[in-house]
Structure 1
Amino acid sequence: MLATSPTYTITWEKLPDDFVLPDDPVDNINQPTLAAALTESLELAGKLPETALTPTNYGICATLNDKFVVKAPDWAYIPHITVKRSEVERSYTPRLQGELPTLVLEFLSETEGGEYSIKATYPPGKYFYYEQILQIPNYGIFDLEDGTLELYRLGENQRYQLESANEENRYWIPEMQLFLGVWEGQRENRPGYWLRWWDEAGNLLLWGTERVEEERQRAEQERQRAEQEHQRAEQEHQRAERLVAQLRAAGIEPEE
């Protein structure tokens, strides 16, 4: 399968087994944690199909003018692969091995502006690659430091357009039927900004620790309710005992 433009030809070919993938380290320790948090809440909410992939710093490939191009977004959502997972352990080629990613996210680098690169010549920049080569419908750029999220959506002209957030400062991802937005709080001893999911009704998709805490609070509420019921029953019993005592003191034997 191929696509052409006046300046380049795109084909979807399997990456050779001996192809040396980039082994660039992540920019900082927080990026894997942010990525894992995105996947965890999807899985716990039952919104991660068995054939979906949510890779982190993982090569997504295409062939541009007979040259392999590999970009590794910080997080991606691939809704459906059509091959065995063992075939995509090293990298993934859309159209050949499954569907296009629905969403790719880049966590803003402190050292470069590569997330915005529109460089069209080989090797192409990230922005150009996601927009023009892969044509991924949603591209997000997240600044961990100030909590800024920019969401670009592919328009009818096959160009990215900067989306506007809703009143809650969230972005609707129609392919996932979820909102993506920024949440401030703590997870794994890291206070700061996080990317989170909300469903159409505005309910936050919880992490595992939050589910445990929610269940603990529910159990505590049930315990308190049971304790209150016990106290009420005890009070009723004591009231009945006093009434019996009063009747007997008056020479009346209450019926059993």
Structure 2
Amino acid sequence: MLLKYNPRQCLPSAEDLPDSDDTPVDNELQDLIPGLLKAILALIWSQRMDWFFGVDMGIYSHPEEDAIVPDGFLSLGVPRIIDSDLRLSYVLWEEKEVPLLVLEVVSQTRRGEYSHKKQDYAQLGILYYAIYNPLRKRKPRLEVYQLEAGEYQLLEGEPVWLAKINLGIGKEQGTYQGITREWLYWYDEQGKRYLTPEETISATQQQLQSTENRALVAEKQLKQERQRAKRLEALLREAGIDLDDN
């Protein structure tokens, strides 16, 4: 979604605005879960420079209003890197693109994830809103909504396919930074989960080790074949057959 602002207005830049609301996260997962999603994107979209994933970063839609600070958000059609100082905040009148996806990770301290934040994101025109609540036991822990006619409608299935992003999002058990628990991941259209950077490194190391093992086995087999050939040659010579005469 493209926003329009009057270019003749003297609007503040990202450098002029607070980069967050200074509210500390009250659960490590509020940083780790979006951080993992960002790390996977950096791997699978390593050749793309038209996306940005913010973690605990303020989104400004109006110069006179406070920023909205989701745990994570994804924008497409914007530069991945602004300059060497990177982004301080996400200012809509500079970026000119509303994020396509916002993510909230619910903790014991509720922050309106199911109420006023949903309304705020709908008013901004953010297409997808994902809420992950690891504390839930009976209701679904991951809910993903899509904006339709100004209201969010719950999307069915898991992983949930996000057509405008061309990725699915879902949850499953895994290990990240040495922590084994349920995490959020990206998926392809067939429902196959994309590997994390740690898993990619491990898979590459295993592949290299397997290649080295095959090379060692082949070298051993070649050595055994040479030894058999020498023994056969010795037996033939003992039998009076000189191979050099052939």
Give the structure-2-normalised TM-score.
0.83
Rounded Cα–Cα distance in structure 2 between residues aligned with 1:103 and 1:143? 17
- The aligned runs of 1:170-249 (5 Å cut-off) are 170-249=159-238
Rounded Cα–Cα distance in structure 2 between residues aligned with 1:196 and 1:18? 32
Gaps in structure 2 of 5+ consecutive residues: 6-10
Per-residue CA deviations over 1:47-73 (Å, capped at 9, x if unaligned) read 57434221111111223xx95142100
User: Counterpart amino acid of 2:103?
Assistant: L
Number of the residue aligned with 2:8:
none
Number of the residue aligned with 2:124:
134
Q: Secondary structure at the match of 2:107?
A: coil
Q: Which shows bigger deviation, 140-149 or 205-214?
A: 140-149
Q: Which shows bigger deviation, 221-230 or 42-51?
A: 42-51
Q: Secondary structure at the match of 1:70?
A: coil
Rounded Cα–Cα distance in structure 2 between residues aligned with 1:24 and 1:180? 27
Preserved CA contact (<8 Å) 2:159 2:191: no
Q: Secondary structure at the match of 2:67?
A: strand
Rounded Cα–Cα distance in structure 1 between residues aligned with 2:81 and 2:200? 32
- The aligned runs of 1:68-107 (5 Å cut-off) are 68-81=65-78, 85=82, 89-94=87-92, 96-107=94-105
- The aligned runs of 1:25-174 (5 Å cut-off) are 25-46=24-45, 49-63=48-62, 67-81=64-78, 85=82, 89-94=87-92, 96-112=94-110, 114-117=112-115, 125-131=116-122, 133-145=123-135, 148-155=141-148, 157-165=149-157, 169-174=158-163
Preserved CA contact (<8 Å) 2:53 2:73: yes
Q: Which has the higher contact order (CA 8 A, sep 6+)?
A: 2
Residue 31 of structure 1 deviates from its aligned partner by 1.9
Q: Which shows bigger deviation, 224-233 or 81-90?
A: 81-90
Residue 41 of structure 1 deviates from its aligned partner by 0.9
Give the structure-1-normalised TM-score.
0.80
Gaps in structure 1 of 5+ consecutive residues: 4-12, 118-124
Preserved CA contact (<8 Å) 2:19 2:58: no
Task: Give the direction of change, closer, same or farther, for the CA distance of 1:197–1:112 in structure 2 (3 Å limit).
Answer: same
Q: Secondary structure at the match of 1:182?
A: strand
Q: How many residues align?
A: 233
Per-residue CA deviations over 1:66-98 (Å, capped at 9, x if unaligned) read 951421000000113379836983432335522
Residue 202 of structure 1 deviates from its aligned partner by 3.8
Residue 188 of structure 1 deviates from its aligned partner by 1.2
Residue 187 of structure 1 deviates from its aligned partner by 1.2
Residue 233 of structure 1 deviates from its aligned partner by 0.9
User: Counterpart amino acid of 1:226?
Assistant: A
CA RMSD of superposed structures (Å): 2.8
Rounded Cα–Cα distance in structure 2 between residues aligned with 1:160 and 1:91? 25
User: Counterpart amino acid of 1:129?
Assistant: D
Residue 224 of structure 1 deviates from its aligned partner by 1.2
Rounded Cα–Cα distance in structure 2 between residues aligned with 1:20 and 1:213? 36
Rounded Cα–Cα distance in structure 2 between residues aligned with 1:18 and 1:172? 35
Rounded Cα–Cα distance in structure 1 between residues aligned with 2:80 and 2:141? 36
